[in-house]
Structure 1
Amino acid sequence: MPASYTPKTRDSVEHEKTNSQSLDTNLPAAQVTVRHVLDSKGRDLFWITPDTTVGKAVEVLRDKRIGALLVRDEEGILLGILSERDIVRRLADTPGRTLPQTVAELMSKEVQTTSPGESLVRVLRRMTDGRFRHMPVMEDGLLIGMISIGDVVNYRLTALEYEALKLKQLIVG
């Protein structure tokens, strides 16, 4: 072995710590709830009123870099959800005339919601079966967040990264 070669040992290399890996992200998949995802992603809510134009809604979606907006009345009551998919369908049906329309004309009015304590596996199944990607989170009748399939996937990927790291540490010592 050349004299310049020094094998790497556990204490010879400075390891970078990450914030994405924690004991909370390593719960068994069946125990993970919507609350875990909300706690990791934040609870920012973006909403519009039903009389907002689709053009304005598109700007909010673009500026906030999100795929859906909650539609609430002035008192904060959830009336519907407007997704990129809703907009694309309407663009195909009314080319050149979609942006001046109101959100009320094309939002999804029957919105399925979840609670913070619902199992993430169950929520993912509901989203997959219902073919929608965003779900508002309600607690005690109040809107407290929204999760997307992307949030769920990101949460699980972080958990898998943590599991892989722990296995590597067990193997390497």
Structure 2
Amino acid sequence: MPTSYQAPMAGDKAKQASASQSVESKANVEAGKIKYLLDRKGNDVITINQSETIAAAVQVLHDKRIGALIVVDDMGALAGILSERDIVRKLAETPGQTLPQTVAENMTKNVVTCSEDDTLIEVLRRMSEGKFRHMPVVNGGMLAGMVTIGDVVNSRLNELEFEALQLKQLIVG
């Protein structure tokens, strides 16, 4: 311990916080939420009606360069999700007969969703445990967006980078 150090005493006045310790410089709690991710990514959602064919779904996946589609019913409500993985499984089960089948016959019906208020860590954990890569975001019963495991991991890495920078600033002053 340096000889100039003196432990705080009961009557000492509180020192002013340095700039690196100010409230403004602390990590933004909202940055760890799905809403923050959607605000940056955008909340466009590519959907397909459950009555469409797998051939139509494959074309949309190809054209939009995405890995999953939100499936909606005739009223526009969330009915399921159709991923590349769902299609590949069906191709293996029914070779040469898959493309004319309907999306409803092949989609995942029990869709795990998240809300805008969920944290990145909660969503990442649910995706890892469920072994899926796409999760619809539902807010107030309405579809608010779609996040992928890549979106969540990238956002979380940016958050950790920011936290590391804040810690460096605390240490350096």
**TM bucket, shorter chain:** 0.7 to 0.9
**How far did residue 162 of structure 1 move?**
4.3
- Could you say what secondary structure the match of 1:114 adopts? coil
- Give the Cα separation in 2 of the matches to 1:58 and 1:94: 16
- Could you say what secondary structure the match of 1:36 adopts? helix
Moved more, 163-172 or 109-118: 163-172
**How far did residue 156 of structure 1 move?**
2.2
Moved more, 163-172 or 102-111: 163-172
- Could you say what secondary structure the match of 2:92 adopts? helix
| Higher Cα radius of gyration | 2
Identity of aligned residues (%): 59
Q: What is the root-mean-square deviation of aligned Cα atoms in Å?
A: 2.6
In the superposition, relative to structure 1, how do residues 39 and 172 fare at CA in structure 2: closer, same or farther (>3 Å)? same
- Give the Cα separation in 1 of the matches to 2:59 and 2:169: 46
The residue type equivalent to 1:92 in the other structure is A
The residue type equivalent to 1:36 in the other structure is Y
TM-score (structure 2 length as normaliser): 0.75
- Could you say what secondary structure the match of 1:113 adopts? coil
5+ residue gaps, structure 2, are: 1-23
- Correspondence for 1:114: 114
TM-score (structure 1 length as normaliser): 0.75
- Could you say what secondary structure the match of 2:153 adopts? helix
Give the alignment of 1:24-103 within 5 angstroms.
Answer: 27=28, 32-103=32-103
In the superposition, relative to structure 1, how do residues 123 and 103 fare at CA in structure 2: closer, same or farther (>3 Å)? same
**How far did residue 99 of structure 1 move?**
1.0
In the superposition, relative to structure 1, how do residues 169 and 32 fare at CA in structure 2: closer, same or farther (>3 Å)? closer
The structure whose RCO (Cα within 8 Å, separation 6+) is larger is: 1
- Correspondence for 1:6: none
- Give the Cα separation in 1 of the matches to 2:125 and 2:162: 24
The residue type equivalent to 1:124 in the other structure is L
The residue type equivalent to 2:133 in the other structure is R
Encode CA deviations 1:134-158: one digit per residue, 9 max, x unaligned: 1111111111111110110121233
Encode CA deviations 1:14-36: one digit per residue, 9 max, x unaligned: xxxxxxxxx9xx5469x711111
- Correspondence for 1:158: 158
- Give the Cα separation in 1 of the matches to 2:172 and 2:62: 45
Encode CA deviations 1:88-116: one digit per residue, 9 max, x unaligned: 10011111211111101110000111110
